[in-house]
Structure 1
Amino acid sequence: MIRFAGVFLCFYCLPLYSLAEITLDGSLGSKGPLTGPAYQLDASQGLFAGNNLFHSFEQFNLNAQESLTFTGDAQTQNLINRVTGGFYSLIDGEINTSAMPDANFYLINPAGIFLGGHAQFDIGGGLHLSTADYLSFADGIRFPATATTPTSSLSFSAPQAFGFLTAKPAGIRLNGFALQLNNSQPFSLVGGNIQANFNPDTGANLIQVPAGSVTLFSAQGIGEVPIHTPQQHQITANGLLNLSDTSISTGGAGDNGGDIRLFSGALALNRSTLTSNAVLGQTGSIFIQALQSLDMQQGEISVKSRSSGQSGNIDIRSPHIEIHGGQIINSTQFRPGGKINIEAATLQINQGSFINSQAESATAGDIHLQAAQQMLLSGESTLLLNMSNNGDTGQIQVNAPQLHVQDGATLVTQSINGQAREIGLNASYLSLNSATLDSLTLGDGQAGNIALHAGTLASRASSIRSRATTSGDAGHIGIQAGSADFSASLVESQSHTGLAGGLNIQASQLHSQSSQFSSNSFAGQSGTLNIYGGDINVQNSRLYSSGMTASDTVQVQANTVLNANNSLFSSNSVEFSGLVQLQAPVLNLQNTAVTSLSQSGSASGVNLLASQEINLNRATIALDSKTTANSRAAVTVRSPVLTFERGASLDVSGGSLNLDVDSLNLNNAYISVRNRPGLHTDIVLEHLYLGPGGQIGQSSKGGLLAINATAIELQGGSIINTGPQADLQIQAQDSVLLRDNAQINGQGTAFLLRSPKIQVNDSNIAGISGSQSDWQILTGQLMLQNGGHIGLKNEHGTQGGNLDIQASDWIHITGRNALGRPASLDNQAVGAGAAGVLSIKTPELRLQGGNIEADSTGAGAGGKIHIQTQQLELSAGSVINSNSLAQGAGGAIVIEASEAVRLSGLAGFSSIQANTRHAPGGSIDIQTPVLQMQSDSALLAESVGTGDAGSIQLQVQELALQKSARISVSTAGSGSGGDLQIAASEQVTLQSSEGGLLQPAIRNDTHASGQGGTLSLSTKQLNMSGGDISILNFGSGNAGQVNITAEQLEMAAGASINASSAASATGAGGNVNVSVSGKLSIHGQRPNQPQPSAIGASTFGEGRGGATCD
């Protein structure tokens, strides 16, 4: 609280009953005391100068129950009185100048003036009381109160100013003083210290001036105070002015309100009111200047226009101002309101103070608060209110280097059908603590803007709002700060059916904790959120634009780092949602959602832009667009490094995904795209890493997921997948690595995997194919190991898709995983649809415990396997098959190897199979210069059921079967055996193991009711060191026949060419046709070979034996 330094003059402490009465000093007429208590003073006892009547008193005192009546000419304009005796004047009685109805009354007493509770002034003109040393006139003449004046020096002009010749003039005291003037003339008190106190007997001080002005001037120093323009004074208004329990008012019914002007050094207003009213006319203004301080305790300062008049201004200026529970009001009805202007070095407004500028059907005046050093607005009921019902409000503008709004203080601009204007705060340091800034409209008007400018802004548990509660539009909120810290705060532009305004926040350092920044319209369109900063740190906060018909853009941009934890960035709407864009060199989102959502319409998208890195930890990025109204809906991410981890997700529904990053890392996170038909998802990056639980997915009919990277790595169960009829393109300039149960799944019509190196380790690349599916893998080196798998599966009723694999260097398929699943390539049919083509083209194809399959396990046919290579090697239990395992026909296997095909069964049975059960078997067609089959290897096109066995066709230069190698087109059921055709331009060799325990075989057997097929072999040289070429009949079906054409035939070590019918067989044995154009050598028994070599046709049962022909 402001404390006054200084004291009032000691006469205030004297008793009031012992003062002498009224005595003339004789300088301007008669001398001596007047007779009371009803004093009479005739004009003849003074002097006239024109229309000025001068009186000079030695003492001038009126006690209660006393009166003084002045007589004079009705033409008198100014009744001028001075007191020269050196004693202050007590006025506690009545002064009457009705004989001079228009005369202004002047009293100057340099010793002081005391106005009591019974004082009355019945005067027709203005009333001016002063402790000045002289009265100055317009002609330059002075009328002094400190010395007698010759009569020749009296002025005919009107008084102009009060003059002071001492540094500390005497004071003026009001003690329960009540003044009610009945004219439009001014009232002024001009002196040293001025004090007004409550009188227990007569009550509070009351000054009522209908239409004139009221001036209280507390001077200190030497100079003059103009009577009618005191603001142009040439003296320091540095005295003490203390108004307690005092009411000063101007105006009334039918009158204009006059000005109220207070000038002092220290000013105290205690439970006092200053009011300029006008019922039909215009109010005056209130001007307060306190050069030291102003302390207002309760009370009211107001200008009030109650009709068609315009209200004046309220202007308060002091270095130090404190307003405790006081009210400052400027109100108008139908004309523009005046301003409220408060200027100080330090300003404190608290304890439920109320500053209000309001209008009924007009524009309310502005409220300006200015502090050169510091301002405090505090208290739960402290309110700055600017309002208009049917017009526009004025502004609230608050400026201070240090500005504190706290403890429930509120700043409001409020309109109903007009426009609420701006709330503006400017400070070097701005603190909002449990504060409210609110600009609102309650009707169809527009809420005002809110503008904050600060070097440092700290907001705690505060709200900054622009609101339209019905059909009006909300305003914009702009915040500019060097650093801004929001905690548990609300910054919001909100409308009901109208437009919500935007938010624009700029700060070098921005921190938000448990706060909300929003533009929200319940039934209309929301505005934009633009937040710019150096470092931005958002914790447990929400930043969003939300509107029923449309939401607008949310943009947050940081120059260095944007950190968000447990927060929301969103644009959401029922119909159209706007773009959400986060941009920073480093973007860290933890437990944070970034969304653009539309419930039934279209969404714009989400942009994440970083020049260094983006880290998403349990974060959610989501786009949900329900219609095609915005075909450009997309999530776009650009960053050198993008990391998803610990449940982070990117979910796109109804839009496209564009990833332009150098390195993408997913750990226990997923990317999911559910596009509208035909939309593409583009991911462009340097390095893609999907760690445990990482997922990238797209589901869109006719859409495309395109990934382009330098290196791609998936591990630990991570997944890239597309939905039905969604295409997938994956391209890596260096390598693609899948390991530890990683997956790439596609269900679209097209799939492309392109990279110089592709490694699939205990992982899966799989697709659900349809009739239009076209899968292509282009690489230099393809490694499938430890159960690694690439394959298509046709689960539909249509023709399956094709899988085309091209490796410019080699393809290696090797090893099983922990569950025993072999590494494999396949294109299979599961249901009624047939499998498609599996094409493999590479210089080197090596299978070591691996599989290549095109099986049919349903009613659909097996697929075709087409291999083009230089060298094909199968070992350790490797399998190439196109089997029919149910009702579907077996597929075809075509192998074109420009150098060699080698099968080895070491550590497992290696085979190429086209077998069948209940449907026609497939075919095996091998074209290669060299076909080598070692122990435990086989070429099989057999039938084990009702289906006919397939066929095998070999076109080679050299065919070699060693130990237990086998080629068979046998039938074990009711189906017919297949045909086996071997064309070897150079030689065919069958080589048994040492001792003959393991015999190679070329077979076409019949085991049940099926008919045997044909075995044809043509070669230049057939060498059999052991081994078996035969067609055997073990059942009721008829055996087939063997046709061998050779230039040379050599048989040894128990070699056999045979067509036999077993003892249990009832069917006919087959025929053996051997044609040798050159040398034929058949060796008999040897010491280590107990069985002789032979060519024969025999029967051991009921069936007819076959025949042999040379």
Structure 2
Amino acid sequence: MCKANSGSWLVSAALLTLGPIATPGQAQITPDATLPNNSVVLPDGNVLTIDGGTEAGSNLFHSFEDFSIPTGTEAFFNNSLSIENIITRVTGGNFSDIDGLIRANGTANLFLINPNGIQFGPNASLNIGGSFLGSSAESLLFEDGSFYSATQPDASTLLTVSVPVGLQFGANPDRIVNRSIARSSFDSPVPVLPFPLSPNIDLANVGLEVRPDRTLALIGGEIQLAGGNLTASNGQIYLGSVAGEGLVNFAPTLSGWRFEKGDIVNAGNISLSNGSLLNTSGVGGGRVEIVGDTATLRDGRIFALTLGNLNGGGIEIRARELQVTEGSQISTLTLGEGRGGDIRFQVTDSVEFNGLGLENYRLVAGFYLTQGVINPFEAQIALLTGTAGTGDAGDIIIETGKLRLDNGVLGGSTTFGAGNAGNLRVRSNTFELVGSGINNGTILGSTGTGGDINIETDRLTMSSEAGLVSVTPTNGAGGDITIMATESIEMFGSPEAVFDTLISTNAFGLNGRSGNIIIDTQRLSLSGRSVIASSNGSIIGSSLLVSDAGGPGGDVTIRASESISMAGIIREDMELDSFSNIAAQTLNSSPGGNINISTPVLDVRLGLISAASLNDGDAGDITIDAGRVVLEDALVEVSVGAVAFLRDVSATGSAGELNLNADRLVVGRDARVTGLALGSGRAGNLNIAARELVLTDGGSIDASTNSGLGGNLNFKARDIQLRQQSRIETNAGNATGGNIAIDTDTLVALENSDISANSINDRGGQIAIDASGIFGTQFRDAPTPESDITATSALGAEFSGVVRIQTPDVDAASGLVALDGSTLNPSTQIQNSCAAALENRFVITGNGGLAEDPTQFLQPQTVWRDTRLGEIQSHLTLNPTGTEPEEFSVSTEPFVEATGWRTNSRGQIELVAASGNLSYSPWQPHPDCESVSQDSASTQSSGR
């Protein structure tokens, strides 16, 4: 006896350890006898009819010790049609295991509350007229303040006629699990979609389903959809997870209940996995709401598709973290006249999407960019609010601390029909886009317009072929892209990549107009194959997609309060498509957009800034306002017939205009600023104003043309330097050379650096230079190996252009002041002891002890040498510079003319006047006037 009891105790302990386990095939619906009028269960084969219960107004209360339904069994609540709410509690210690059918009469709502949890098996289904709420709460609260408790059944003896308004949870709410993939129990129609779904999705497997326009809610500890589905056509699905004590409030509505917007205190986890589906698709596309701590989708899907003329309800997720992986999808596509619902994420910490790999991403994105079509239910598309009907798509709103899309995720709001695409709005501290893309554009065959993309973040990082785009291959206009990043935007591209890392609005079909791009940040950095572009054509790698028809390109506006840096990849096999670039290009007959850049520092190394045309459309303009601009191996172009590495000499559009204002502009190693026209269109005009302009190491600024009108180059700078074969030119092939106007203080051109407006088969252009000083260059009739200024023609000198160089004419008398009074005759002021009869010379060799520069110090000692006499007789010592001079007095005696010299007692030479009491030794005899005259006469007579 004791041995048997011991074994029973061990089995019970094991069961408690493993948790409650239901026995398949065993009905477990047992009333608990806690109501004034208790529930009655009447079995009839596989049908368990539930009668009795206590009615209070329109509420019918049931109470069970156990409530489980095995496979193939039906539990039928036989309520009267006047009942609005069937309120069922489970007071025993077991969870409810339901793998059969729950049915009720009329349109009554069904509440099933079991604090020990609920599990719905693969065959579980519902056939009720109203809404369904399954919960592991302890009590149901009513509007009058009363409650119906499953843990304290005796405390709720006074049953109320009031309506339910809330759920009260205990300290450790148990989980709710759904694995149901049952077919509809009331033959609801299966939506017919114009696009194929993934093979593992079957909308006929509705799982737990309520009738159209009703609510299906699961609210418990942890909510798990492990391969199970929930369906509420045109209705509402609500999932709420509560990890501890808390209250969830709701209010009755015509479609069931409206749950409070506030976050759940002590929220728990919610997961969809193994192909689970939440589906509220219908005439008006219902609503899905998920509230928890962590929401996870692993191969899970949430569809709220609008199939008719009513507006969709949308999808909302409120959590601390949201993770979407393994081909999961969230979609509010509209296929009818109604507007699609919005997708809204309010996630405090992070939202992370992880896709199915970069290869699949490339296949889907490449097919879209080349063919203009895409299946909105491709497994790669994780997030979509699109339209395939006449109704407009909903918006995507994401508010989170960190947003990351990685490993081949596609998302956005796209139009497949006549409706317009929705907008994407992101507000996050950080936004990382890695090998993934968002497109708010249009699909080939649609007529709607693309949606806008608005991003507010501290830091945006894009890499590995990531894209933020609004692509339009149709008549519809593309959406705008606006990015506000308080700290930085960083874009990284790889030369081995199939696609660029890009921010782009692109219209490459029919008459579609590209959207605008607006970027406002502190620091913008582009490296490798990174692109910010608005164009009306498409360039993929080295391939070009261009339509002869098309709308205008959009504008690109970039404001960076600290700096903009652009850097490509340097390799031996480097091509231009390895550059980073900012572009507003036209590849068809419509005009291109403009580029506006404002920043203290613009540093472009292996980069491209292009507002160019490759067709009949006119190129746009570029305006740059910067403190310092440095260009190396870079190209800034407002060209026509040339877009980066592509050329088309048949282009007839005109080049644009460049307006560049900077404190210092450096056009360095092989960099080029150009308004080139390769076709018959006019070359561009370049207007450059800077304090200092430096061209060096092959750098050039030009507005050359082939056969169109030459462009104009206008420079206004304090200093202009051209070094190492740099060039300023408006040369032409079969047209007149362009014009160059330079206004500067100083122009320096060295090392074969030229300024030219030459032409081959027409007249040379005009060059006008107004400078205070010009150094190293001059006008020449023809180019030379020196630094030249030319406006020549290969047709001959008579076809040369005009060169006008204006420098200040210096008048030596300018500024002199006439003095009053007459001037003295110097001959009256000179003592003439005797007339000079011989010619004499005085030669100074070297600097004679003087400094070469007046700012240099004198040497402390200086030696004077008489180079004619050879040996130095004595030294003359000077006072060292910077030492205190000796005191001296100024003699007032009159000066006396020296007549000889002598050596004093210190060995110094003194100049002396003739006197009877002085003895001296002249280096040669001192002649008197008479002897000089005689000597002169004898010299003349001898013929010497």
* Aligned counterparts of 2:672 and 2:435: Cα–Cα separation in 1: 33
- The residue number in structure 2 matching 1:529 is 595
Asked whether 1:132 is paired with 2:137, we answer yes
- The residue number in structure 2 matching 1:1005 is none
- The residue number in structure 2 matching 1:331 is none
In structure 2, the CA distance between the partners of 1:292 and 1:106, relative to structure 1 (3 Å rule), is: same
In structure 2, the CA distance between the partners of 1:30 and 1:18, relative to structure 1 (3 Å rule), is: farther
Map 1:268-287 → 2, pairs under 5 A:
268-282=296-310, 283-287=312-316
- The residue number in structure 2 matching 1:367 is 396
Determine which of 254, 258, 265 is the counterpart of 2:293.
Answer: 265
Map 1:59-138 → 2, pairs under 5 A:
59-98=66-105, 101-138=106-143
1:484 Cα deviation from its structure 2 partner = 1.9
- The residue number in structure 2 matching 1:577 is 655
The answer to whether the 8 Å contact 1:97/1:123 transfers is yes
- The residue number in structure 2 matching 1:668 is 752
In structure 2, the CA distance between the partners of 1:187 and 1:294, relative to structure 1 (3 Å rule), is: same
The answer to whether the 8 Å contact 1:502/1:519 transfers is yes
1:108 Cα deviation from its structure 2 partner = 1.6
1:452 Cα deviation from its structure 2 partner = 2.9
In structure 2, the CA distance between the partners of 1:229 and 1:541, relative to structure 1 (3 Å rule), is: same
* Aligned counterparts of 1:628 and 1:91: Cα–Cα separation in 2: 81
- The residue number in structure 2 matching 1:703 is none
Q: Which amino acid aligns with 1:478?
A: I
The answer to whether the 8 Å contact 2:340/2:386 transfers is no
1:688 Cα deviation from its structure 2 partner = 0.9
The answer to whether the 8 Å contact 2:441/2:479 transfers is yes
| Structure 2 counterpart SS, 1:386 | coil
Asked whether 1:217 is paired with 2:224, we answer no
- The residue number in structure 2 matching 1:556 is 624
Map 1:19-58 → 2, pairs under 5 A:
21-29=28-36, 34=41, 36=43, 38=46, 40-41=48-49, 43=51, 45-58=52-65
* Aligned counterparts of 2:790 and 2:355: Cα–Cα separation in 1: 68
Q: Structure 1: any 5+ residue segments left out of the alignment? A: 1-7, 198-203, 328-349, 700-713, 734-753, 758-778, 781-1110
Superposed CA deviations along residues 712-758 of structure 1, whole A, max 9, x for unmatched, are: xx99685667643755555544xxxxxxxxxxxxxxxxxxxx7779x
Asked whether 1:489 is paired with 2:530, we answer yes
1:13 Cα deviation from its structure 2 partner = 5.9
Q: Which has the higher strand share?
A: 1
Q: Which amino acid aligns with 1:569?
A: E
| Structure number with higher relative contact order (C-alpha < 8 Å, ≥ 6 residues apart) | 2
Answer with 238-247 or 665-674: which moved more. 238-247
Asked whether 1:500 is paired with 2:523, we answer no
* Aligned counterparts of 1:240 and 1:399: Cα–Cα separation in 2: 24
The answer to whether the 8 Å contact 2:765/2:802 transfers is no
1:31 Cα deviation from its structure 2 partner = 6.7
1:262 Cα deviation from its structure 2 partner = 2.1
1:15 Cα deviation from its structure 2 partner = 5.0
Asked whether 1:611 is paired with 2:670, we answer no
- The residue number in structure 2 matching 1:325 is 355
Superposed CA deviations along residues 66-107 of structure 1, whole A, max 9, x for unmatched, are: 333333423222222222223322223333323xx2222222
The answer to whether the 8 Å contact 1:281/1:305 transfers is no
Percentage of pairs with the same residue: 23
- The residue number in structure 2 matching 1:475 is 515
- The residue number in structure 2 matching 1:600 is 680
Asked whether 1:417 is paired with 2:421, we answer no
Q: Which has the higher helix share?
A: 2
* Aligned counterparts of 1:697 and 1:509: Cα–Cα separation in 2: 44
Asked whether 1:159 is paired with 2:245, we answer no
1:636 Cα deviation from its structure 2 partner = 1.6
| Structure 1 counterpart SS, 2:75 | strand
Structure showing greater radius of gyration is 1
* Aligned counterparts of 2:213 and 2:554: Cα–Cα separation in 1: 49
1:217 Cα deviation from its structure 2 partner = 1.8
* Aligned counterparts of 1:698 and 1:607: Cα–Cα separation in 2: 26
Asked whether 1:429 is paired with 2:468, we answer no
Map 1:1050-1089 → 2, pairs under 5 A:
none
Map 1:707-726 → 2, pairs under 5 A:
723-724=797-798, 726=801
Superposed CA deviations along residues 313-364 of structure 1, whole A, max 9, x for unmatched, are: 222333333333389xxxxxxxxxxxxxxxxxxxxxx994532221233432
In structure 2, the CA distance between the partners of 1:119 and 1:516, relative to structure 1 (3 Å rule), is: closer
* Aligned counterparts of 2:476 and 2:284: Cα–Cα separation in 1: 31
* Aligned counterparts of 1:628 and 1:206: Cα–Cα separation in 2: 67
Cα RMSD for the two superposed structures: 3.7
Superposed CA deviations along residues 590-649 of structure 1, whole A, max 9, x for unmatched, are: 32222223443444522232213423432233234689989xx63222223222233222
1:575 Cα deviation from its structure 2 partner = 4.4
* Aligned counterparts of 2:92 and 2:787: Cα–Cα separation in 1: 109
Map 1:709-858 → 2, pairs under 5 A:
723-724=797-798, 726=801, 729-733=804-808
- The residue number in structure 2 matching 1:196 is 225
* Aligned counterparts of 2:461 and 2:242: Cα–Cα separation in 1: 38
* Aligned counterparts of 2:56 and 2:277: Cα–Cα separation in 1: 34
- The residue number in structure 1 matching 2:230 is 207
Asked whether 1:518 is paired with 2:617, we answer no
- The residue number in structure 2 matching 1:311 is 340
* Aligned counterparts of 2:634 and 2:130: Cα–Cα separation in 1: 74
- The residue number in structure 1 matching 2:889 is none
Q: TM-score scaled by structure 2?
A: 0.65
- The residue number in structure 2 matching 1:830 is none
In structure 2, the CA distance between the partners of 1:515 and 1:211, relative to structure 1 (3 Å rule), is: closer
In structure 2, the CA distance between the partners of 1:620 and 1:294, relative to structure 1 (3 Å rule), is: closer
The answer to whether the 8 Å contact 1:636/1:658 transfers is yes
Superposed CA deviations along residues 951-997 of structure 1, whole A, max 9, x for unmatched, are: xxxxxxxxxxxxxxxxxxxxxxxxxxxxxxxxxxxxxxxxxxxxxxx
The answer to whether the 8 Å contact 2:346/2:400 transfers is no
In structure 2, the CA distance between the partners of 1:246 and 1:107, relative to structure 1 (3 Å rule), is: farther
Q: Which amino acid aligns with 1:491?
A: I
The answer to whether the 8 Å contact 1:93/1:119 transfers is yes
The answer to whether the 8 Å contact 2:149/2:156 transfers is no
- The residue number in structure 1 matching 2:720 is 642
* Aligned counterparts of 1:587 and 1:68: Cα–Cα separation in 2: 83
- The residue number in structure 2 matching 1:949 is none
* Aligned counterparts of 2:175 and 2:413: Cα–Cα separation in 1: 37
Asked whether 1:230 is paired with 2:259, we answer yes
Q: Which amino acid aligns with 1:219?
A: V
Q: TM-score scaled by structure 1?
A: 0.56
In structure 2, the CA distance between the partners of 1:732 and 1:387, relative to structure 1 (3 Å rule), is: same
1:296 Cα deviation from its structure 2 partner = 4.4
Superposed CA deviations along residues 202-250 of structure 1, whole A, max 9, x for unmatched, are: xx42322334322222213334323412234685261222333364445
Count residues with an aligned counterpart. 681
| Structure 1 counterpart SS, 2:153 | coil
Superposed CA deviations along residues 481-515 of structure 1, whole A, max 9, x for unmatched, are: 32222222233222254322222223232222222
In structure 2, the CA distance between the partners of 1:664 and 1:436, relative to structure 1 (3 Å rule), is: same
Superposed CA deviations along residues 284-313 of structure 1, whole A, max 9, x for unmatched, are: 322222245545443332334332233222
In structure 2, the CA distance between the partners of 1:409 and 1:721, relative to structure 1 (3 Å rule), is: closer
Map 1:931-950 → 2, pairs under 5 A:
none
| Structure 2 counterpart SS, 1:451 | strand
* Aligned counterparts of 2:95 and 2:787: Cα–Cα separation in 1: 102
Q: Which amino acid aligns with 1:402?
A: T
| Structure 2 counterpart SS, 1:418 | coil
Q: Which amino acid aligns with 2:558?
A: I
The answer to whether the 8 Å contact 1:731/1:755 transfers is no
